[in-house]
Amino acid sequence: MTKIYLASSNFKPFHADWIKRAKTALTDNPTVDIVHNPWDHQYKNVSFDDTTGLFGSLEWQLKTYQNDKNAMGSSDIGVYLIDVDEQDEGLNMELGFMTALHKPNILIFLSHSDTLDKEFHVNLMIAQAGTYFIHDDIEALRDYDFSCVPSNLVEDMGDQFKVI
């Protein structure tokens, strides 16, 4: 049974679209059994528009961190929707955590502008933490073999990608 931890930002409307598309592609993939997206499992169902004061509180921070840590620990593979236009430190932490647990990481580089059409530098720590890299194609998750977990290089995404 393969459980996926689907990590992503969710601060803009297009992030929600990316998440929805990724969940659909992963659900359609016969080598995936469970998709865990932390945004679907918020502590006490709190959201950004919370009026109770719980969102952002120390209680919420501690429990959200613990819940996400538990989900990563029980997952087999991490899938990351990386918004290259707006880096998310939390996503990078999740990538580092899964790497420390020796879990494979599938990184999808996405942009809502033309950032990926020109030379793009990938930090060496991100490049080395990744097992497989996908350039702007969420639907590729539908056909990826999560039971064998093939690997590739950042440079396999195209000549514009440079590791620094």
For residue 72, which of 45, 46, 92, 101 has the smallest C-alpha distance?
A: 101
What distance in Å separates the CA atoms of residue 32 and residue 10, rounded to the nearest whole number? 23
Which run of H or E residues covers position 16? helix 13-28
What does the alpha-carbon distance between residue 53 and residue 131 come to, in Å, rounded to a whole number?
39
119 is catalytic: no
| Alpha helix segments (H runs only) across 49-164 | 58-74, 89-100, 124-129
What stretch of H or E contains 4?
Answer: strand 3-8
Residue of 86, 89, 94, 155 marked active site: 94
H or E element in which residue 28 lies: helix 13-28
Residues marked as catalytic: 94
